Structures are given as C-alpha cells and as structure tokens.
C-alpha cells in the first residue's frame, strides 16, 4: 500500500496491465482521525492519473522489457515526497513533448527517465531478480535512490557523429547516472556519464569528452547550492535535469565552434 493505494502489475493475454486500488474505504475511521497529519502523504487523483499514463506510455509499450517493469515498481516504493519529485520531472518532460509535437521533438534535445537496465545488476549482493533487473535502485537504509537520465542531443549542435552507434545506445544519446539523497539534508550527486563508443560518438577527442564529464558534474553540484525550488512546483530533479541539458548543449556548441574552454560553464 502506498499513499492510500495499492498498485498491481499483471500480465493478461500478453499485455501488461496496471491496477490501482484505493484502500481508503477500508480504513475510513482511521483516516478520519489522521486526515490532518496524512494530507501530504496521500497521492492525488491527478498524480494517480499521471502514474497510469506513464505506465501506459513507457512500461506497457512494446517490445516488453522486464527491466522497465522492475524500474517502475521500484519507483513506486519511494516515499511519496520523492515520488512526487519524479512525477514533476515526468510531467514536465511530457508537457514539453506535447507542446512541440512528436515530429519536432524527435529532432530536438529531450530527456527521458531511463527505465531500461542495459548493464545488469548494479551490485553483487542483489539476490532478488526483480531488484537486479531494475535500473532504479532504492537504498532504504541510506534514504537514497540511484537513477539515470537519458539526454537525446540536438542534432543541429553535433558537428560530427559516429553513426555506427553501440550496444544499447543511439549515437546521439548520453546517459547521466545520479544519486538523490532525500534524508534530512537532500543532495543530488553525480555518479557517471556514458555514451555510445565511450562518448566518442559525438566527442571524437577523449580530452573533450573528459572535460564535458567534469562540466556536467559541476553543473549537478550547482543545483545543490540553489534554493530548494526555483519556481513553484518545479522540483529539484527537474532543476538538475535542465541544468545538465544546458551544460551538454553548451559543450556541443563549443565543440562545434572551436576547442572547449576548460574554464567555461553553463550559467
């Protein structure tokens, strides 16, 4: 049970289904007594609809992938306040796509929460297969979650590209892995950045790719030094995603216009 609801993923006639059951009516008396204290710990109808829509668009779409299902389930185990952070990121990304249209969006830079796990288990001590498949890792003991964002780069900014791609990668995509610590002092940490051919699909010079990594890491740290919310309802994860996107675009622009300057960062 989470936020007053039970989520169940099932398979029926080779289709993935998501069932959402409200348990409020079974605990009506208890909820009346605790309504005030639990107001912020219940998912709203809009949030439930957003979760169902995301499941339909990203999890139940063919071809089916066990890691997408596992990542989605892991997402639902997060505390309500943290799940809301991810929903703000998902809602913002979806709204951007709808505003520009599918065709236009395919040619523009965009961001995806990466549900697919292309590298297997992130830890040797994971024994449960569902957790091992997930690309989102919830560490309850340390109040943190590890996840990856895939950035689809703007083709217009790429001066040269190795179109051969690589295993599980499109040549114009970059994946940034982050850790969100949501305890008493929330903090977002940069863990890694990966791309096709070790980043060499768009960054042909290894030193340029290394400089880009450093700039992205500094951009993430910049978010930790800003107020919790720059705009009402924006969310910290959306802020860091925007900051990384701007930094990647700046790196590509500098690569197109000339050698990267080690001292230049996105503002």
> For residue 198, which of 220, 178, 169, 241 has the smallest C-alpha distance?
169
Would you say residue 213 has pLDDT above 50?
A: yes
pLDDT at 148: 95
CA separation for the pair 158, 253 (Å, rounded): 8
pLDDT at 195: 82
pLDDT at 246: 93
Give the start-to-end residue ranges of the domains of the chain: 45-257
pLDDT at 127: 45
Global confidence as pTM: 0.78
pLDDT at 27: 52
Confidence band of 239 (pLDDT split at 50, 70, 90): very high
Would you say residue 87 has pLDDT above 90?
A: yes
Cα distances from 254 to residues 2, 57, 140, 210, 257, in angstroms, run 46, 35, 41, 14, 5
SS3 call for 159: coil
More confident residue, 14 or 45: 45
pLDDT at 259: 56
Confidence band of 190 (pLDDT split at 50, 70, 90): very high
- How confident is the model over 116-121, as a mean pLDDT? 68
SS3 call for 245: helix
Would you say residue 136 has pLDDT above 90?
A: yes
pLDDT at 231: 56
Q: What is the DSSP string of 143-161?
A: TEEEEEEEEEPPGGG-S--
pLDDT at 267: 43
């Amino acid at each position: 049970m989470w936020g007053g609801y039970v989520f169940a993923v099932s398979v029926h006639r080779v289709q993935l289904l998501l069932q959402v059951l409200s348990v409020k009516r079974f605990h009506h008396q208890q909820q009346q007594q605790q309504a005030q204290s639990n107001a912020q710990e219940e998912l709203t109808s809009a949030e439930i609809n957003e979760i169902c829509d995301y499941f339909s668009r990203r999890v139940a779409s063919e071809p089916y992938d066990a890691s997408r299902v596992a990542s989605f389930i892991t997402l639902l185990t997060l505390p309500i306040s943290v799940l809301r952070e991810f929903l703000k990121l998902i809602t913002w990304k979806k709204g951007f796509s709808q505003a520009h249209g599918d065709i236009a969006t395919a040619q523009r830079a965009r961001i995806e929460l990466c549900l697919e796990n292309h590298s297997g288990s992130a830890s040797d001590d994971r024994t449960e297969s569902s957790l091992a498949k997930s690309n989102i890792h919830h560490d309850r003991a340390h109040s943190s979650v590890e996840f990856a964002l895939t950035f689809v780069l703007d083709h217009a900014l790429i001066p040269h590209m190795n179109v051969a791609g690589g295993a599980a990668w499109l040549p114009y995509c970059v994946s940034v892995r982050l850790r969100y610590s949501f305890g008493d002092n929330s903090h977002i940490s940069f863990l890694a950045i990966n791309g096709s051919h070790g980043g060499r699909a768009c960054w042909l010079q290894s030193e340029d790719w290394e400089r880009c990594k450093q700039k992205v890491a500094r951009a993430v740290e910049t978010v930790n030094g800003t107020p919790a919310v720059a705009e009402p309802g924006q969310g910290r994860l959306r802020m860091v995603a925007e900051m990384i996107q701007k930094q990647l675009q700046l790196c590509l622009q500098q690569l197109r216009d000339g050698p990267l300057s080690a001292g230049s960062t996105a503002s």
